A = this chain, B = another copy of it.
Amino acid sequence: MKQNSNVPAFLTKLWTLVEDSDTNEFICWSQEGNSFLVMDEQRFAKDILPKFFKHNNMASFVRQLNMYGFRKVMHIDTGIVKQERDGPVEFQHHYFKHGQDDLLENIKRKVSNARPNDTKIRQEDLSNILASVQNVHGKQESIDSRLNTLKRDNEGLWREISDLRQKHSQQHQIIKKLIQFIVTLVQKNRMSLKRKRPILLNSNGKKPKYIHEIYDDPPLDHNKPSVSGLKNADLTDDVVICDVTDDDTEITEGPSRALDQSDVEIVEVFNSNTVSQTDNADSIGQTYSLVIEPEETTISTYDSLPTSSTLQLNKQSGLSLEDPMKMMDSILNESGAISQNINLLGKVELMDYLDSIDCSLEDFQAMLGVVVPKKMQGCYPKETSLVSQQTTSWSSTHPALCWPSWMAAPLWPQRQTAAQPQSWETACCSTTLRSPQTSWSQTRSLHEAL
């Protein structure tokens, strides 16, 4: 009757009840001893149950049995409506056997799964998931619009940059022309003033494209082209934009440049020590040279140092006299140092360039006549016909640059004709490039007109 351990009361009571021979009338072991029988449900419920439990309901008793894993033993005649008192009810459990109360502890009460119905859980899950998904959807739309905004911004930026590039290029052209003009001016001045021996740059009356000729193969070193250029250039007849300060010098030669003793001297930059100085000796005045040399340019963006490339310009007076052209050369040489890699292009452009600046008075006028629109901004070329060329000179130089994805055909407005050095301005994003010939011929005709 005592129940030790942790065997639930129900099991103890049930086992006792079944074992108790006094109640065999109502409840007893089956013959095999592995199940028990309730002879008369009704009487058992009303007479026996209350003595052991707090109720007299057969249903509650059965519920407990089920709770502990007992199963009803089906009889063949089950279901038959019998007039007489129903036959006995039989239950069994693997660990509920006659004379073996030690097995009872193996019988475990069923525990509610504490599972409030997956169904409900699932329903909630579904709701949550749905809400989550829609939330994500909303966010995505937001992100999408932001992306579009950004994309538009980017497009605007590209346009801006294109515009800036173009502007820059134009400015560059202006500057170039200005320099040319100034050089010419200085030269002229000398000629007219001194009218003495013209320093022969090209005594033969032909422009020596020495540089071009000498360097048909530009140095691979991109960073110091100017240096090499200078070195190799052996300029014997060069120029001598010497300056002279005095007054009465005579200019003997031609109308062309016979520059002498002008107060301003444009000294060519010679290579270290290799220079052959021309008649500087006689120059008594001070000589001033114009060196256009942006400091920045001497800086290597990444690793190279601006050391060697720094110019050792004019060593003061007593220097050589050079012509403005030389100066220009050096200037251009310097600034264009980078683009030397682009050989072909460089050459072509050089040609064009020279041609284009080969102008006389008319050119000058034309040069002067430049009208700037109040507003010019960059565009986005859409055509591509001329792109190839651009690519040639540009892509190579800007390998890292990625053209905006949204631009179908990145055509720079740049006119980058051959005559137009890309070095400084390069760039641009214009759609069409002017054919070199165009400027070529133009410049030419103009030139010849002289």
Residue pair B433, A430 in contact (C-beta under 8 Å): no
Q: For chain A residues 172-197, which have a beta carbon within 8 Å of chain B?
A: 172-193, 195
Instruction: Say whether, besides A74-B9, A262-B256, A303 and B383 are in contact (CB < 8 Å).
Output: yes
A394 at the interface (CB under 8 A from B): yes
CA distance A417 to B27 in the complex (A): 110
Residue pair A338, B192 in contact (C-beta under 8 Å): no
CA distance A385 to B305 in the complex (A): 11
Residues 246-280 of A, flagged 1 when their CB comes within 8 A of B and 0 if not, give 11010100111111111111110100000000000
Instruction: Please give, as numbers and ranges, the residues of chain B lying within 8 Å of A263 by CB-CB distance.
Output: 184-185, 187-189, 191-193, 254-257
Chain B CB within 10 A, most for which of A112, A324, A359 = A359
A231 smallest CB distance to B (angstroms): 11
A444 at the interface (CB under 8 A from B): yes
CA distance A12 to B313 in the complex (A): 115
Q: How many residues of A contact B (CB 8 A)?
A: 306
A208 at the interface (CB under 8 A from B): yes
Residue pair A164, B161 in contact (C-beta under 8 Å): yes
Q: Which of B235, B356, B397, B439 interacts with A316 by CB under 8 Å?
A: B235
CA distance A431 to B364 in the complex (A): 28
Residue pair B289, A442 in contact (C-beta under 8 Å): no
Residue pair A338, B372 in contact (C-beta under 8 Å): yes
A40 smallest CB distance to B (angstroms): 10
Residue pair A245, B237 in contact (C-beta under 8 Å): no
Q: Which of B114, B171, B255, B303 interacts with A425 by CB under 8 Å?
A: B171
Q: Which of B2, B117, B166, B180 interacts with A90 by CB under 8 Å?
A: B2
Residue pair B357, A430 in contact (C-beta under 8 Å): no
CA distance A436 to B249 in the complex (A): 34
Q: Which of B76, B152, B299 interacts with A386 by CB under 8 Å?
A: B299
Residue pair B374, A224 in contact (C-beta under 8 Å): yes
A418 smallest CB distance to B (angstroms): 5
Closest 10 CB pairs of A and B: A372-B421, A165-B429, A376-B376, A427-B430, A296-B415, A314-B362, A207-B448, A289-B364, A173-B294, A428-B428
21 A–B pairs (Cβ distance < 8 Å), ordered by A:
A132-B133, A169-B430, A209-B444, A212-B440, A290-B359, A291-B446, A299-B415, A301-B375, A328-B439, A331-B439, A336-B373, A338-B375, A339-B432, A340-B437, A346-B438, A355-B442, A371-B423, A375-B376, A378-B379, A394-B430, A397-B430
Given A42-B42, A201-B448, A375-B397: 14 more A-B contacts, CB < 8 Å? A136-B140, A188-B288, A189-B256, A212-B441, A218-B437, A226-B313, A254-B285, A332-B438, A350-B435, A367-B370, A373-B413, A374-B418, A376-B377, A429-B429
